[in-house]
Amino acid sequence: MGHAPASRDALTSRILPQMVLSDKSNPLTRPHTPLSSDLTVAEKAAARFSVKGNAIVTGGCGNLGIEAACALLEHGASGVSLFDVNPAQAQDVVDRLRYDFPSAKIITKKVDVRDQQIVQAAVAETAGELGSLDILLCFAGVVDCNHALDIALEEWKRTLDINTTGSWLCAQAVAKHMIEQGTGGSIVFTASISGHSVNFPQPQISYNVSKGALLQLKSSLAAEWARYGIRVNSISPGYMDTVLNEGPGLEEARKLWYSRNPMGRMGDPSELTGVVVLLCSRAGRYINGADILVDGGGSVF
């Protein structure tokens, strides 16, 4: 049975919860201690973009997830947990990561981000195996192109469940561990140019809505969780040269995408890594609630 509607008296007498912001005395949100003057110029440059601790990457065995995980490891991450609905498909890539970074702990978890119990269990296992949770990158996502009049309810739900609700479930589970640790952290959602404007020529309303919602999710959590030292940001890629945008059936659309972009092409997955490192390193200490467009300038039109 559903809940009975709240009475008017109950509505008018309710007390709203109050958001709590940080203050200057909070060690979790203070500026970093300045880099030592004993460091060389090269050492300071490296330290500025150094990544500390362990990361969870959802959609971690896809093109974007693997590139991001590799970048974090290159910049000093000590461990990475790759969440993927089918990690076995990328075993060779994972093996290569382990070979390239022998001192890092690299694990995989079979995770459907729509399933709260599975997400919570995988996050707890990762915290136990790696020792801490310091970074969450959400790359798990699907795209669905259909005319709005033709979309079935189940298709609509699937897109939002994976892209939006899945990101939320992972963020909530990870944030609880970060707060328990008391060491802060960085959460990065993958939004999209589709969260800012309507794509053309393909109709993809469910995807656009799912990504637009992520922008507000990012901002809301950035406001609520800053006091715990958790920074929440998002990246909005343009069209990226991944399997999602391959195939002869997309040739005409690709020509149009190129023609509407100042750089005349799609992005390479590696071109997201600079923003990932920025948001997860000491260089991004005061970046919170931001969305960074990485689209070759396509959104200027």
Q: Catalytic site residues?
A: 192, 207, 211
CA distance 114 to 140: 10
Amino acid at 242: T
Residue 160, C-beta contacts closer than 8 angstroms, at least 6 positions apart: 206, 209, 210, 213
DSSP H or E segment with residue 99:
helix 91-100
CA distance 144 to 61: 20
Amino acid at 280: C
Residues 202-225: b if buried by 16+ CB within 10 A, e if exposed: ebbbbbbbbbbbbbebbbebbeeb
Residue 42 and residue 150 in contact, taking contact as beta carbons nearer than 8 Å: no
CA distance 140 to 129: 22
CB atoms within 10 A of CB 133: 26
Q: What share of the chain is helix, strand, coil (3-state, %, to 5)?
A: 50, 15, 35
Residue 126 and residue 56 in contact, taking contact as beta carbons nearer than 8 Å: yes
